[in-house]
Structure 1
């Protein structure tokens, strides 16, 4: 049995969000939901997440899990917001879930941003083991460990569909950066080869799409394994590991850090919870580190 897949594109960060549902039971999961952050206005809103809730409601889906592929560095997850809204409306609490290696990322960035350990311990309701299987209604799903972009990165195989997060991009975009802590271009190459070894008709749903300006195309949520093998500009059939790794390292050395890096990591290692306010207001505070001369210390 194949799932029903609803791709929902968030334009500001170029993120694909997914609702994946069993057609018989109407049980569904949401993968990589986005909170909207406006840096100019210093405002966090829920427009994109509310769109996901509307799609789920109009199709009479019961959301049974909220899945994260990794601790994103380019957007804030809406997982906790969705969990609270779903709890209010149905008295059920879909667990916020990701791969077990999120603990490595939490340990590093918890220290960097002085996040209380209790907030990290409470961030995720369930952590998957590698290759763990679970059900979406009557459909079997499997967790895939897909490291390289980040060490905690997971994907989800549902029928002949793989939700790859940032482990592979569409053919004319290619691949994700590997210069985050414990990212590794050689490991990403192996991950991409694992995906490309799947049956040629399998659909690889990407976590982002950034259509090249000269392509004239709209954002695409997936292509098949066969299309990736023939056309992926970084790892098409015949690309050697040393070629990919050399190019990726050189490319990453010239990239700026993601615009929302610090805000995203502080929220995402908390599973979408915001730092607690101490004045009873709706304000929250996120740290942004700066380099300063010793004379100002």
Structure 2
């Protein structure tokens, strides 16, 4: 296995976090470490538990790369955060909580997402976010990473319960709302998604100050560009985001987004991922033979 691509976006002062992005090539996901430059306290955001959709085998390679980075930088993990229950990768939240002792958190609307997927999987007693997450975060909630304040923004659209984290004076982790400017915006056709809500979420994010560094959840590459990219400022997006630049029309974007989404296949990990991620990354309990199993709905999508 090759070493993961890691980039450091340095702090711009005591109120500005250090940010490392760790790229998970199999899923096109970007995992983040955000750290207070004064205290060296850190949060881990959207970390991936490896999963092979052919064999259904899991691995900890991406998670281990993030923890190795934490050790190398002599950081102390204070929070384990996820922006939403991901459809394209398994989350490492539960394993990170066990490995670090730090509490884990996700948006409070995960309760509604869990209810929706209990029906889709016909698992009426499955998924208890109150058990599996230490904190369920609502719009406007605040906490800190070391000396850095963090504000939670509800950013629905991609899912009904996606949240963004605004950290310090110049950083926001905006998950699957925006892509890198040359890719535009993310899909919003999953159960509970909404193009209209995604537009509103993007506009709230782009109302942050122009120099704010926005860190997106994925990059799948773009024509004419070889290297994965995940950081751009609010000003960059307003200037050149191919979908939601300054002056973009709401109704035209919604129509284009919905037309595009109608052509997209489900992510190949989705039906496995949601069943695990709504348990904070815990695998289902072992059955009588000592093995764990997932349940897959037929003809529901």
Secondary structure in structure 1 of the residue aligned to 2:86: coil
Q: Does 1:290 align with 2:289?
A: no
Among 19, 43, 54, the alignment partner of 2:68 is 54
Deviation at 1:200, TM superposition (A): 1.0
Residue in 2 that maps onto 1:225 = 234
Distance 1:123 1:81 in 2: 11
Distance 1:55 1:99 in 2: 26
The answer as to whether partners of 2:114 and 2:127 remain within 8 angstroms in 1 is no
Identify if the C-alpha distance between structure 1 residues 118 and 48 changes in structure 2 by more than 3 Å, giving closer, same or farther. closer
Residue in 1 that maps onto 2:279 = 270
Q: Does 1:141 align with 2:150?
A: yes
Distance 1:279 1:137 in 2: 45
Secondary structure in structure 2 of the residue aligned to 1:17: strand
Q: Deviations over 1:217-238 (max 9, x none)?
A: 3111210111101111111111
The answer as to whether partners of 2:120 and 2:297 remain within 8 angstroms in 1 is no
Residue in 2 that maps onto 1:239 = 248
Deviation at 1:58, TM superposition (A): 1.4
Residue in 1 that maps onto 2:112 = 104
Identify if the C-alpha distance between structure 1 residues 183 and 230 changes in structure 2 by more than 3 Å, giving closer, same or farther. same
The answer as to whether partners of 1:172 and 1:211 remain within 8 angstroms in 2 is no
The answer as to whether partners of 1:33 and 1:79 remain within 8 angstroms in 2 is yes
Where in structure 1 are there 5+ consecutive unaligned residues? Answer: 87-92, 293-297
Q: Does 1:131 align with 2:145?
A: no
The answer as to whether partners of 1:110 and 1:120 remain within 8 angstroms in 2 is no
Residue in 1 that maps onto 2:4 = none
TM-score of the two chains, using structure 1 as the length reference: 0.92
Residues 52-91 of structure 1: matches in 2 within 5 Å?
52-86=66-100
Equivalent residues, number = 284
Deviation at 1:129, TM superposition (A): 1.8
The answer as to whether partners of 2:127 and 2:279 remain within 8 angstroms in 1 is no
Identify if the C-alpha distance between structure 1 residues 59 and 115 changes in structure 2 by more than 3 Å, giving closer, same or farther. farther
Residue in 1 that maps onto 2:198 = 188
Identify if the C-alpha distance between structure 1 residues 220 and 199 changes in structure 2 by more than 3 Å, giving closer, same or farther. same
Q: Does 1:27 align with 2:41?
A: yes
Distance 1:95 1:266 in 2: 21
TM-score of the two chains, using structure 2 as the length reference: 0.91
